[in-house]
Copies of this chain bind each other. A is one copy, B any other.
Amino acid sequence: MPKISDERRAERREQILNAAWSCFQRDGLHATTMDHIIAASGLSAGAVYSYFPSKEELILAAVAASLSGIRELLDPLLRRDPPLPPETLLREIAAAIDRFSSRDGFDLKRLALLGWSEAQRNERLRGTMRGFYTAFRDQLAEVCKTWAAVGLIARTAKPDEAAKALLALILGYVAQAALLGDVEPAAIGRGATQLAPYGPRGLQRSKRTTTSR
């Protein structure tokens, strides 16, 4: 038989990953059987195994794909120059995650929780996640540094501590939205700002900035 083209291979891979993704989301990582994925992919067992040598590998690939999806999603927001102010950035990140989630019925937030859980017992997955979130947090720290420089946050703020809080807000938004389902992106942004002492001025400035975007 003629060798399958690289494009076709990549296409198949995608197809399997999508099938896996939707199964994982519906049933969780462990309750999803390879048969489910195989059936959902429309391929044969052998075919699926020729692309991913084991279920673990498939999980790993699915998580990696979703992480890189998130990166592509958030990168533009983080690279803005001048940077989006705190409340806006938070709101836009949350909104982007939501928007991505509603696409095709995939819920990135649910998937994220599955991945976090699995990372607790899967060394390699943990490694992948650490890499991703560390890099992400570094990017956030960069943004914080700029914010501090331009006075959007305390000039004395330590970028890496502020980044930890920022990442917590984002991850916490994901968890809270997945578990309770009643958190709008705008609310999380406003809420974070309101927590600021001397809030009125914080709010005003925040509002002004937001409006001016």
Write the residues of chain A forming the contact surface with B, with a CB cutoff of 8 angstroms: 25-31, 86, 110, 113-114, 116-121, 126, 129-130, 133-134, 137, 151-158, 161-176, 178-180, 183, 187-188, 190-203, 205-206
Contacts and interface: CB of A to CB of B under 8 A. Distances in A.
B196 A197 contact: yes
Contacts of A110: 120
A168 B165 contact: no
B119 A179 contact: yes
Given A194-B162, A202-B154, A175 B86 contact: no
B206 A197 contact: yes
Nearest to A28: B121
Contacts of A170: 168, 172
A73 B169 CA distance: 22
Contacts of A198: 154, 196, 198, 201-202
Given A168-B183, A171-B175, 9 more contacts: A29-B30, A30-B30, A30-B31, A31-B121, A114-B120, A152-B197, A157-B195, A197-B202, A198-B202
A163 B202 CA distance: 17
Contacts of A206: 197
